[in-house]
Amino acid sequence: MGSPLLFLITLLCFIQSLFVVSHNLSKSSTICKTTPDPKYCKTVFPHSQGNVQQYGRFSIRKSLSQSRKFIRTVDRHLKRNAHVSPPAVTRALQDCRFLAGLTMDYLLTSFETVNDTSASLKTLSFPKADDVQTLLSAALTNEQTCLEGLTTAASSSATWTVRNGVALPLVNDTKLFSVSLALFTKGWVPKKKKRAGFAWAHPRSGTSTHTKPFRLFRNGALPLKMTERTKAVYESLSRRKLADGDSNGDGDDGSMVLISDIVTVIQDGTGNFTNITAAVAAAPNNTDGSGGFFLIYVTAGIYEEYVSIAKNKRYVMMIGDGINQTVVTGNRSVVDGWTTFNSATFAVTAPNFVAVNMTFQNTAGPEKHQAVALRSGADFSIFYSCSFEAYQDTLYTHSLRQFYRECDVYGTVDFIFGNAAVVFQNCNLYPRKPMPNQFSAITAQGRSDPNQNTGTSIQNCTIKPADDLVFSNYTVETYLGRPWKNYSRTVIMESYIDGFVEPVGWREWNGDFALSTLYYAEYNNIGPGSNTTNRVTWPGYHVINSTDAANFTVTGLFLEDDWIWKTGVPYISGLIS
């Protein structure tokens, strides 16, 4: 038997360990105070005790389980009701099935990441934490997109089974996803980097770092402004890369773009394919990008087709012969029975998609209301020297991280909308002639949760009326944006704003909805419409300084810019001045 002294020391050590454990653990009621809906959060952890990261892992795992269950529910409804439900309801369910599959991917990746980290230490790097926060933000956006589509489509009493069997359970799933996002933000996102309306700023943000624009392909081997005369160049180039070599001989000096394969789309049959859809189908599946982009050269022509870049068609680069030369066009609309989500003429889901020198259209017209020209829910998607032309809901920046450079966007109501983390740089935004007695709003950002790291940043752009609006015979009220969701977030900075924009700048969505929770800001804009003297006085509106504006630059919003740099697309990483 040991000595009394040894027993006492052992007992004291045990008591101390209990104190340390209890000090690091919290009841669910304490942890849940940090979430948007504490009451619901406590139902997720009714009698448990742990630290925020343990709660976070449990919540994400439960979200993953609920997502699997939801997929089975949607599949069951599609199987039973496909032939009896109205087409609009079936399409909404198909959207939900598509989005739920993506959500499963996002949640699985998120759970694998947080499950590999220490229970007591924050071991995620800045980029890795941003990746997971981005995926959880997108998962929540997917749920709400599904719910909105179902709510709109299933508005009649004949579809009560869809509302009760699919839409209502989805409401609780959305709350659960919000809890997961909140706990991850508290448990893993560095607190010291939270400021100015975004989760954190990159160490380089706040500086005026300029990345020197350079040609898409080195040494002029394939000029960016492609024409029919460059076709012969394709036939003489390496099948591995569009370059004449490099100083190191390893193809990785940063001055060129690696290409794994090249196909051409020519409508007269002299190329590899006559339509874009067939060319996309030929792209390899699930590549990691190490071998380069699969390049699709789409020659001049009017392509009347609905194109979808599926999630497994990674690292596709599509280059046309120029704006208004290579045109992809369609006319689906909500009025004609499509959901806003699936009305898109061109839709991208696959990561690392790049489009250059193309026009995307939806010609349904203003009387058909929501009619999307392009929808991107593709992480690290880039559009350079492209045009997007429609009326209401032209460009759907749905989710994840996106970059637009030297693009033209035409529309009327909410014509740039969605909930991505997106930067528009050196673009032209053209409000056009709407229907009589209709106003125009350039943006309708859809951030619905305070922990989503999303927002629309418009930098060094030009906001001017389209020609049809200039010559319109009636007055059109035009606004910089309006809050689609509670935490809508849009920043316009270092841009030219013409005088046709209303002096108040921004418009309400419905009464005082979101006016105190949104984040709208302007910084260092010029032009007759940039005067902020008579702007709205909402609690969420700000005229910001350079420190805050730096959070909305490329490196401030995305943290890393290698994914843009590797494509050869020119960009500025920080503030212009």
CA distance 283 to 310: 11
Phi–psi pair at 521, nearest 5 degrees:
-150, 155
User: Which listed residue (321, 393, 414, 561) is catalytic?
Assistant: 414
Distance of CA 287 to the CA centre of its chain: 21
Length of the chain: 577
Spell out the residues 6+ positions from residue 306 whose beta carbon is closer than 8 angstroms to its own. 330, 332, 344, 345, 346, 347
Spell out the residues 6+ positions from residue 467 whose beta carbon is closer than 8 angstroms to its own. none
CA distance 38 to 44: 10
Task: Confirm if 200 and 190 have CB atoms less than 8 A apart.
Answer: yes
Spell out the residues 6+ positions from residue 294 whose beta carbon is closer than 8 angstroms to its own. 259, 260, 261, 263, 283, 284, 287, 313, 315, 316, 317
CA distance 373 to 394: 5
Task: Confirm if 97 and 74 have CB atoms less than 8 A apart.
Answer: yes
Task: Confirm if 415 and 479 have CB atoms less than 8 A apart.
Answer: no
CA distance 521 to 489: 8
Q: Which one-letter DSSP state was computed for residue 283? A: S
Q: Is 306 exposed, middle or buried (0-12, 13-18, 19+ CB in 10 A)?
A: middle
Q: Which of 86, 385, 456, 57 is nearest to 226 (CA)?
A: 385
Q: Identity (one letter) of the amino acid at 129?
A: A
Q: Is 414 part of the annotated catalytic residue set?
A: yes
Structure tokens at 357: 């020198």
- Give me the active site residues, please: 414
